[in-house]
Amino acid sequence: MIAATKNKSNKIFFVMYEDLLSDPKKHITDLANFLDVPYTDEFINDIVIKCSFKNLKDHKLDVCSIIDTDKKSTLFRKGIIGDWKNWFTVAQNEKMEAIYNKEMKDVDVKFKYE
């Protein structure tokens, strides 16, 4: 990721989950343009609906349920911004921040956590 963010000639499409969640139509359209894929508004709207968190979570074919049929899938949790707080302790978050700040200091990408 560091090399990709520094080399602006790379053809890499960046989109943050939080941005995609807040304006899916815009970012799906941006992706179609990036890939030079012809599209209509109906096509983009169809992708937005089919790829919505709820539709993906409710999909009959959940890979995790195939692997472990006895447990409820953990592939999809809530699909909301900031849910990480329910999974990390304060100590884990502090450790993660320290590692992230060290390893990603040269990355020119601003992540949103809330």
| Res 39: pLDDT | 96
**Whole-angstrom Cα distance, residue 64 to residue 96?**
26
Secondary structure percentages of the chain, helix, strand, coil, to 5: 55, 0, 45
Which structure tokens are listed for 63?
Answer: 């890979």
Res 41: pLDDT = 96
Residues 70/58, Cβ–Cβ less than 8 Å? no
Residues in CB range of 43: below 8 A, 6 or more apart: 32
Q: Residue 90 — very low, low, confident or very high, per pLDDT cuts 50/70/90?
A: confident
The domains of the chain, with CATH numbers, are 2-103 (3.40.50.300)
The model's pTM is 0.58
Span 58-65, mean pLDDT? 58
Res 78 pLDDT > 70: no
Quote the mean pLDDT of the chain: 77
Question: Contact 73/64 with Cβ under 8 angstroms?
Answer: yes
Structure confidence by residue, pLDDT tens digits, 6-58: 666 668 888 888 888 889 999 999 999 999 999 999 999 999 988 877 777 66
Q: Which carries the bigger pLDDT value, residue 101 or residue 70?
A: 101
pLDDT at 38: 96
Return the ∠ at Cα 48 (arms to 42 and 53), rounded to 5°. Answer: 160
